[in-house]
Amino acid sequence: MSKAPPSDAISWAESAVEEACRRVEEWYRALPLFEPRVNLRSVTGFKHPALLSEQDCVMHFARFLSETGVPWEAIHHQVSGSRWMFDKPHPAATNPGESRWRVDLALLTSDDFLAATLPSIEPGFQFDAFLEFAYLDDFWTLPGANPFGQPAERRGKVEKDIAKVGRYFAIGACRVG
């Protein structure tokens, strides 16, 4: 059983994410490689058996967060803004006809969630951290692969994710992005 993080939400989330990044990078670099292969002008195998999708990246990152001491119940996958969490006039509120938001991974301790007055209608309630993930391989470098606009398309996805998390931070949905 993991111990609860310290009460200072910003420091616990930042330090947990930084430590998980360090650990996952070390793990990632040690993974056995698939032999690169291209079939029918598209990639038929990714670089590592453990990472076949962006969702695999999120799942493994959550595992490393847990190993740093973040309780499983503080790690939330595919969180969408909803009116039971944020309601008008809170800037993070979602209402019919407005742009809805969703984040790959959100951190929030159970104690903080239970203590919150929801829906939050004014700034105050926030998730401790929001994280977005992108699976960026280099398939376009393989002989015979069709580059499909790469690597510019992949860089564009990362830039959009950075802007997305920046918007969530700006509207007060999270403390750290």
Query: Which amino acid makes up residue 103?
Result: V
Q: According to the model, what pLDDT value does residue 149 have?
A: 77
Query: Which amino acid makes up residue 15?
Result: S
| Residue pLDDT, tens place only, 114-140 | 999 999 998 889 999 999 998 777 767
What is the pTM assigned to this prediction?
0.82
Tell whether the torsion through CA atoms of 144, 145, 148 and 152 is positive or negative: negative
With bands split at pLDDT 50, 70 and 90, how would you rate the model's confidence at 74? very high
Distance CA 161, CA 120 (A): 25
- Provide φ and ψ at 86, rounded to 5°: -130, 130
Instruction: Let me know: does 58 contact 105? Beta carbons within 8 Å.
Output: yes
| Residue pLDDT, tens place only, 31-68 | 887 776 666 555 544 567 777 778 888 999 999 999 99
Q: According to the model, what pLDDT value does residue 49 have?
A: 72
Residue with token string 């990362």 = 158
